[in-house]
Structure 1
Amino acid sequence: MTTIRTEAEARAAIVRACRQLSAAGLSPGSSGNVSVRVGSRIIATPTGSSLRAVTEDEVAATPADQEGAPRPTKELPLHAAMYAAHPDATAVVHLHSPYATAIACLPPADSGYAPLPRSLPTV
């Protein structure tokens, strides 16, 4: 396991991870996001990005260094909560795999038709 010490290393590691996750079919379209904690900053994929196409220049840092910098994933609160709950964690991967999404689309467990409980909130 490699220790990531700089934001540049974090950006490169995020892009490598994104390519691998996308190639494995675990993040279709613009679903999923990845972050790495470097010190007190969170380096994360940008909001609305595709893991198969994100570049190091598009990866966002929070807090942002300048006006107009890339915006981090809208799931940043989830990542921050994971880091707060797990102080030793240095990376978070949040995916919407086709399999998990398919299961979430099944009828509710209490309908008598679903083999598994719903795994996504209803709107």
Structure 2
Amino acid sequence: MMTEAALREQICLLAKSMFDRGLTGGSTGNISARTADGGLLVSPTGTSFGRLDPARLSRFDRAGRFMDGDPPTKEMPLHTAFYDTRSAAGAVVHLHSCHSVALSMMPDADPDNFLPPLTPYGIMKLGKVQLLPFFLPGDPAMGQAVRGLAGKRSAVMLANHGPVVAAKDVEAACNAIEELEDTARLAMLTRGMHPNGLTPAQVNQVVTRFDVEWDD
């Protein structure tokens, strides 16, 4: 595992990359990652992904005690819910990405399988994405909803709010959440055009070939 100093730099670099490309704006979004000693580094509350300071990230020890840095994001219950229910989670990312939020507002959105199977990559990187109902920002009930999934989903979509993805490390989590937004964008761009997505048989082929976590 990389040093804590390198991890701090990576978190800020990847966050700025997503901010610069419009995947989250203003002071929206939050990101966290496991440290080598089992603790957490977390983006502080009220900060912009475009201007995170590696030295000021919130630091927690392995018991979940706040150690130093600026005060953490108010979405900590959401992050800890993923870490507590998914032992392989090494990072969690939450964005307010435009197209995924738009898709969450559509009346025909499938709560159990939010993303339509338009390309293999969303399936490979995310598995099935759970659409959760609307919660007030910072509401601990968001974390309770994730815990209620009992570790079955690595990605959720908060209706009218934004996606949250857990993965083995920061780079994988960022890649996965970008794939989620790209797939949602494709879905919105082709909405009403009856696009030729993947067939159920093709979805099964992707799931089998790439050993995707895919609960029926």
Q: Give TM-score, length-normalised by structure 2.
A: 0.46
Aligned equivalent of 2:100: 100
Superposed, 1:9-20 pairs within 5 Å as: 9-20=6-17
Superposed, 1:54-73 pairs within 5 Å as 54-62=52-60, 63-66=65-68, 69-73=69-73
Is the contact made by 1:19 and 1:51 (CA closer than 8 Å) also made in structure 2? yes
1:29 shift after superposition: 1.1
- Structure 1 residue runs of 4 or more that deviate by more than 6 Å after TM superposition: none
Q: For structure 1, list consecutive stretches of 5 or more residues without a partner in the other structure.
A: 110-114
2:46 aligned partner, one-letter code: G
Counterpart of 1:8? 5
Q: How many residues align structurally?
A: 111
* Structure-2 change in CA distance of 1:116 and 1:44 (3 Å): same
Distance, in Å, in 1 between the alignment partners of 2:24 and 2:11 is 14
| Alignment partner of 1:51 out of 49, 52, 63 | 49
Do the aligned partners of 1:35 and 1:45 also contact (CA within 8 Å) in 2? yes
Kindly report the root-mean-square deviation, in angstroms, between the aligned alpha carbons of the 2 structures.
Answer: 2.2
Q: Give 3-state SS (helix, strand or coil) of 1:52's partner.
A: helix
- Kept in 2: contact 1:28–1:98 (CA 8 A): no
Aligned counterpart, 2:25:
28
Gaps of 5+ in 2: 112-130, 137-216
Distance 1:98 1:58 in 2: 28
Q: Which secondary structure state, in structure 2, belongs to the residue aligned with residue 92 of structure 1?
A: strand
Give the distance between the partners of 1:99 and 1:65, measured in 2 at CA. 36
Higher helix share: 2
Percent same amino acid at aligned positions? 32
- Say which structure, 1 or 2, has more relative contact order (CA 8 Å, 6+ apart): 1
Q: Structure 1: which amino acid aligns with 2:67? A: D
Q: 2:109 matched to which residue of 1?
A: 116
What is the SS of the residue equivalent to 1:65? Answer: strand
